[in-house]
Structure 1
């Protein structure tokens, strides 16, 4: 091309690129109200955002993919865990994680009940933003994940054969009823013998020897409402309890989970765990919304 053709090409290319940019900008602004869920911003959501910033949560967590990567991304956290779990966790994170075993521990933010409620409202608003699939998957705290499974340290570091003083296995330890049942349920999830975490992931789409337990509460309700369900449970909690003590009452679809009408899940939990422990485990699993 000669100089004149080069100049025309450069001007035309710039004009076309500018036009495309303007069209995309106008289209983005047209969609912003719907994509950002802005119509649902309430005073509680605004207060929750202030709590998020005041406590520098983004120094450890990511939200919409932005922030630090020391702790999990919280973009969709309220869709993965319900308000009861998040409330109990924010009141005392140390009930859910052990610094020595998990190699990290969220500091207690010492939030009031109102601040916790506001923060959960803010995170719930964030979870309904149409982020068009970004981040592309839940960002888990791995610290050395098993290839293909993306298990967290909490799932990997369990030792189901370990016993407490006196020879009593972790799953049979007496529990302190003064503690939060969801926190106790989470501990039991990793400490029962056999450990639940060895076969079940709590991350969406991560299926191990057993199906993922993410969104378990919603899944359980769908099963109960379906005509194929022949069990006795009428509530989500009842279904989870039944699945623990009578795993063959409902067989999760898929040849890797059962055979000849019998679930591969050990049927011994109903005998090895106390009713109180099962209730704690149910409380924890029912918080997976």
Structure 2
């Protein structure tokens, strides 16, 4: 069923291609490499712009008028280290024009097109306009070159890199066709409970009890803003967390909240 909504997802939701973690020592020659943007995934079907959840993005009419009739997949982005600002802007039911003037739609896939990803990446270049930014794709010849580019991007405030198989067809779901490379790993877990805070966090949330898709349960106690401690994500919400490595039992070490993954 490709990029279209599937029966296993909420009504209106779509399941685009999702990345796995790149193995250490990977040879990047079979891939096109781009910066991993810390933005909000958005899918354009030719008529409406939606979050992965299927909810419509309340973008201004002038912004939507710049989008073509063909489907697009990409990220709404304001720039490095501006995720919270972007998140607030795109979640509003009534768009604030001054905020959206700072947003660009960074496109990295053409869901309705055929051929190899390398061919689609070339096609995307023709879509550039005041709103659409085709994501830059690089060819890197070795793992050393890949690590050097990762270091460069992270030093400039970026999150990491994405590696997309150059010969890949349009695909959906989590796949080895798309890999992410970051200094710290990240993963998703579902909130199963809340632990009350102590000391300065008395009366607020102290930690989230979460469970991974593999059934591993652990507590996530750092990375929260004051607002999230006052209004924590509810039981059933999905969160994305960063971690350094895992214990022999499979629990992440030094886990820290990155963001609430399904707030859109």
Normalising by structure 2, report the TM-score: 0.30
**Larger RCO (alpha carbons 8 Å, 6+ apart):** 2
Choose 1 or 2 for highest CA Rg. 1
Q: Whose helix proportion is higher, 1 or 2?
A: 1
Normalising by structure 1, what TM-score?
Answer: 0.28
